[in-house]
Structure 1
C-alpha cells in the first residue's frame, strides 16, 4: 500500500467513524388495541393522529434525533381514553440518527 492509499484509508476510517453511530435494536409489541393511522376512517382521529405525529417529530428533532422519513404505517393510534381523546405515537425509529452537536 503506497502513501496515497494509506491516507485514503485513514480518511475513510475517520469518515466512517464519524458517520456511524451505535444502534440499539428495540422491539415494541403492540396490543391489538393499537392500529396504524391509515386504518381509522374518522377524519377527527386522523387529524389528531397527524397533529400528535408532528408534535412528536418536533420533540425528537429538538432532542437531537433525526428521522429519515415518517410513514403513515409508523403513526399508531391506541383506543380513545375515557374522555374520547386519542393520542398517537411514532414507531419505527430504528433508522433514526442522533446529531452530534444538536445544541448548535
Structure 2
C-alpha cells in the first residue's frame, strides 16, 4: 500500500497505479500521468466525498469550472483557485492521510 506522498509520486514512474489504491487515489494517479479519461471513469460514479473532490479537480483541469463547482459542493470543499499542481498535491496528501 502506498503510504506517503513521496511513494505515491514515485509510483508515477510505473505503467499503472498500484492495484490496492482506492478510486480517488487511482484517479489522481491517472490525472498526474495525463490520463484524464481513465481518471474520470474511476470517480464519475463513486458516491463519496473523496471521489467528488477528485472529480471536481478533474473538471477544473478540463477547464469546465461550472461542473467543477458542482463537484466541489458535493465534496464539501471550497472551489480551488490556485495552481493545479498545488491542488493535486493537497488532495493526494489528504487522501493519503499525510495532510
- TM-score w.r.t. length of structure 1: 0.25
Return the index of the structure with the highest Cα Rg: 1
Structure in which a larger fraction of residues adopt helix:
2
Structure in which a larger fraction of residues adopt strand:
1
